[in-house]
Structure 1
């Protein structure tokens, strides 16, 4: 074959389009959900979900997705990537339909968990298919387009969700997935070729089970403690039990030949540091995005569509600055760029501790924009550092590990910061609800959405309760924002201490004697 001949599939660009749509529907659904949280909490127009149930509607998807990501990648390599892409799309579409018509928060949480199974089957095989159908000379460009779909989904998700909620019932934010999935199933069946890895890895069923059980137990304890108090044995049993299972998971993963998460890699600082940075920044960022949706729609009174538009500076900053990040890394080094990015995130999330009920809204938008710039300058240098620490043949492992850590950290960020928010709100609203009947007092103390529902039933007499709820929520938001800024600041320390600087050179194949964790297969 001539060296200049393209070895890619004849329909590779059409196939890429199908894969991008498949990825879009997965990412879009989570960004849409951010603006639907207030509506889901409404007992009349939504499901009357508590704050804990809203956190689980996000985390049930995220934890299942993260727990199964490695396994579905291996299964796709073993039994057929096209087959698993079709299965994943079908599951995602079915789960979207079930979510749209959920009758209570419990059903929504279960449907979202099933959606996580579908998402975990879709994401890893799309990358494998791209590697299979594209010539190596075009592969980087194709993966760049695939990655850009994430930024596009972040930008259009809140706006699309807000527009749907303006005209239709809350289930429309999930139902919109169904026609897209049906079109995707047809296009995948018609265009995407089947492919397999002739030497697939092993399937770590026990490891996956331990990781999911441990993370769910830990998250349950944190969320339930924040909602109902940490003075109960059940809460601590869940937290400590979850941590114990996760310790067992790490011990088990160290001893098997084909682990779902190769924990030995974390012994190497130049791999572990950027992965930790990814985890810390998503822990900080996702928790903030969770509570700002309530701040904008309840405290400030904006509609879902207006809220979606207010998130645009965050998404727009990433779309503008992320493409420039690679150039900045080449000029200044991964350490400097990551440190500046984390500093911007720390300043932005910490700024929410100074934002009140009457802060000019342009300042809120500017804060989102600064946070977006920071995020745009963290992921590219972190991924470059991760990939430079691994042999070329293990590049897929680095991508999968960072994606898993990102998802898990985001889920824990929502759980921890949401619990801080709930506990602080409950302490500050209590004096204003003392005169309410028992059931109404419990609902108002649970969340700001509950307080608004009680105030609505009280009529004009409920106005003082709304004012008290707004004040309690803003005060609680300040505490959550400060904790979020602390985690971002810890990331700066990690970067300055362990991240490679300008002089670091990519390691194509580290010596086994020097880095046995990196050299092992």
Structure 2
């Protein structure tokens, strides 16, 4: 299949014979990015001790990666479409490897933060090309299976990260969590160069440099404000000023994209109800999932008393369920019999039910209840994610696959950051209101600080107040996921009546006469 060919229901004879090998390479690249995120989570205490990092510096070691990644994803997708997805993925591997080496050699928190920023830029180039390469390699019939396998491998990285990180920290110095990326980056670079075919927009549009600049500044400023909000207050100047700057730049980006003949992100995509449904639902899902999983780590450590590695291991059932359902094909065999709106609504309802089970059944220290919730969440992700990704990628021209992939990643990062910030703020506010008389409200910043301030006499009341506030915040996350699923299913269902059943990825023309749109002129 040529790189410029339209995405159609190809006959088996037209399929690339090496497509599954290409998928394995793409999955390896994705694994690098996801593994690094979860490996770092268990290393925070070691970073604090060895580098003398403050709490704020430790937060920026983690936050800078997301900040750079979210800010660059749309621009990275545009670069991939114009100059080649294979080329951009190889550049991303090099940047990610160099950033990893810099992180391993860092001797100060500032150096580590800078290295993480470089890794975030490299990660954005990798994530912006992963789904794009899948939809350019596989035809419409096989795309859901390929997307499911890709997401299953990503979930495997989520599950293995804490285990690998804990093993490395038990035997080596903290920099080993970055060194481990180097051989994987090198192997991935060689494999991409040898096996992955090049594909790019055949129309060779001019680069939209102003659009890229506006999107990067706007997204970085907005995500920065979201990260700052819980610490400095949502009404403080340190939150409102960057937030306002971000909104202004994003508004300018939208206006510019509507006028330029060669837009980075064609605003006409949003006229497609399938596209709107998938991206709006995806934001709410990321909001609920990101925030609720952030709360779950505190639940496991502060309420149930597990250490960081033990807590990481106990989140594994969700990821392993996704891997089992996706890599065995069982999830696809079930969802392929359902229309895409039903698969999305059903999957996200399972996820919401899992989050609610964690909140309610785990409230009194029951890990079996939490495990049940994680299993439900894993089943829901395996059902909903491939259908939602397919709805986004099928509603835009295939030559714009990089921008579509980048937009999905951007909205996921924004939703995740908002979820952590907002649900974290809900937890803090509820916890502060529950503190005994005489305990300052500032102590609600963490349970250990509140317990130390309250003393043994009020320890039980403080612990119960934290658990109650945690449950309330987790239930809000569950509602957000449920609303996201219903919203996405409703919008996608409006144009799905004439589409084939099974939730399969279909071409842009399948969106209906009023929704289909050719690529931007150029």
Q: 1:342 aligns with which of 339, 348, 351?
A: 348
Q: 1:44 aligns with which of 40, 49, 52?
A: 49
Per the TM alignment, residue 235 of structure 1 is displaced from its structure 2 partner at its CA by 2.6
Distance in structure 2 (CA, Å) of the matches to 1:492 and 1:361: 27
Per the TM alignment, residue 196 of structure 1 is displaced from its structure 2 partner at its CA by 6.1
Distance in structure 2 (CA, Å) of the matches to 1:150 and 1:409: 18
Distance in structure 2 (CA, Å) of the matches to 1:227 and 1:96: 28
Distance in structure 1 (CA, Å) of the matches to 2:86 and 2:507: 31
Q: Which residue matches 1:32?
A: 39
Q: Please give the TM-score of this superposition, normalised by the length of structure 2.
A: 0.80
Contact 1:90 1:181 in 2 (8 A): yes
Q: Which residue matches 2:476?
A: 483
Q: Please give the TM-score of this superposition, normalised by the length of structure 1.
A: 0.80
Of structures 1 and 2, the one with the larger relative CO (CA 8 A, separation 6+) is: 2
Q: Which residue matches 1:438?
A: none
Q: Which residue matches 1:21?
A: 28
Q: 1:161 aligns with which of 160, 165, 168?
A: 165
Q: 2:499 aligns with which of 502, 505, 518?
A: 505
Contact 2:77 2:403 in 1 (8 A): no
Distance in structure 2 (CA, Å) of the matches to 1:43 and 1:394: 43
Per the TM alignment, residue 484 of structure 1 is displaced from its structure 2 partner at its CA by 1.3
1:121-158 C-alpha deviation (Å, 9 max, x unpaired)? 23444566677888999888766654443232223223
Q: Gaps spanning 5+ residues in structure 2: where?
A: 1-10, 501-505
Contact 1:277 1:494 in 2 (8 A): yes
Tell me which moved more, 496-505 or 461-470: 461-470
Distance in structure 2 (CA, Å) of the matches to 1:332 and 1:133: 24
Q: Which residue matches 2:5?
A: none
Q: Which residue matches 2:322?
A: 318
Distance in structure 1 (CA, Å) of the matches to 2:97 and 2:223: 26
Q: Gaps spanning 5+ residues in structure 1: where?
A: 435-440
Pair 1:292–1:213, CA change in 2 (3 A): same
Q: Which residue matches 2:6?
A: none
Q: 1:366 aligns with which of 359, 372, 380?
A: 372
Per the TM alignment, residue 175 of structure 1 is displaced from its structure 2 partner at its CA by 2.9
Q: Which residue matches 2:73?
A: 69
Pair 1:169–1:251, CA change in 2 (3 A): same
Contact 1:71 1:203 in 2 (8 A): no
Please give the residue correspondences for 1:420-431 in structure 2 after superposition, counting only pairs within 5 Å. 420-428=426-434
Q: Which residue matches 1:437?
A: none
Please give the residue correspondences for 1:282-293 in structure 2 after superposition, counting only pairs within 5 Å. 282-293=286-297
Please give the residue correspondences for 1:1-400 in structure 2 after superposition, counting only pairs within 5 Å. 17-37=24-44, 39=45, 43-44=48-49, 48-50=53-55, 56-76=60-80, 78-79=82-83, 81=85, 83-102=87-106, 106-125=110-129, 145-186=149-190, 188=192, 198-322=202-326, 323-354=329-360, 358-390=364-396, 397-400=403-406
Aligned length: 503
- Report the secondary structure of 2:259's partner residue: coil
Q: Which residue matches 1:519?
A: 518
Per the TM alignment, residue 370 of structure 1 is displaced from its structure 2 partner at its CA by 1.3
